[in-house]
Amino acid sequence: MDSWNVREPAVAGMFYPVDKKSLMRQVVELFERAKPKKIKGQIKALISPHAGYVYSGLTAAYAYKLLENKKYDSVVVISPSHREYFDGISIFPGTYYRTPLGDVPLDLELCKLIIENESSIKLSQHGHIEEHALEVQLPFLQIILESFKLVPIVMGDQKKEYCYKIGDVLGKVLKNRNALIVASTDLSHYHPYDVANQLDKIAIDAIANFDYEKLLFELEEQNTEACGGGPAAAAMIAAKKLGANKVEIMHSCNSGDVTGDKDAVVGYMSAVVYEAHTNEKK
């Protein structure tokens, strides 16, 4: 492993509080406000937004609250790369991801296994240093799960081929493991409120129907927007291989719903991908 062992917080104090107590208080309050519908089945993956907590924190909390009283040995977080384009997929080459709540240890064994089984995924700092989309998921996980090991994956390129490569390798290496997958994505960016809702409905409907092919198609055709559409598709592909058969949208809104400024909004949604009991599938 690389000698640069700890990935320091890049957006503490911007996307969420830098102070440990303030951060804990904010996330706990978001969990108290979130009232997700009950899910009967085994959760395989979550899809969660990644804006500042003031904007998308409640939407994220609706999904993460489903993990209450659950334990996972490992959590794989799949993130887009906003600040750096690179061809391929990267796993941070260190041992910890740090937040104001403490250090999250990487699952080094699982990271190694993924890389050994998929050549397009490499140990690399590419996409990790300044990226917020992965980092902002961690405080929710730290508070709701307390203890887990992390596999931090960043997609430098979200082409369909890479979505399937991630989905296939995770479907293989996570079998018989107590692991959760989290995909990080926001929806449309900076459209008027009504236009944003129309665009976002296309992505939300594809996800709700567990149709990652349609999601990828609509994104490619530019009929909808999701900056982490690739991670969302990859998570659904993997979850299906791990037995998931249903998706439920937990919450959706946009920044206009939060601030009242509806001129140029950003869309958010959260969802759970799970293996429903037979009578729940319909």
6-39 residue pLDDT tens = 999 999 999 999 999 999 999 999 999 999 999 9
User: Which pTM value belongs to this model?
Assistant: 0.96
Distance separating alpha carbons of residues 214 and 212, to the nearest angstrom: 5
Residue 174 CA, distance from chain mean position: 17
144-174 residue pLDDT tens = 998 999 999 999 999 999 999 999 999 999 9
Give Cβ neighbours of residue 110 (< 8 Å, ≥ 6 apart): 74, 76, 149, 151, 173, 177, 179
- Third-level CATH fold of 6-280: Protocatechuate 4,5-dioxygenase; Chain B (3.40.830)
**Domain chopping of the chain, boundaries:** 6-280
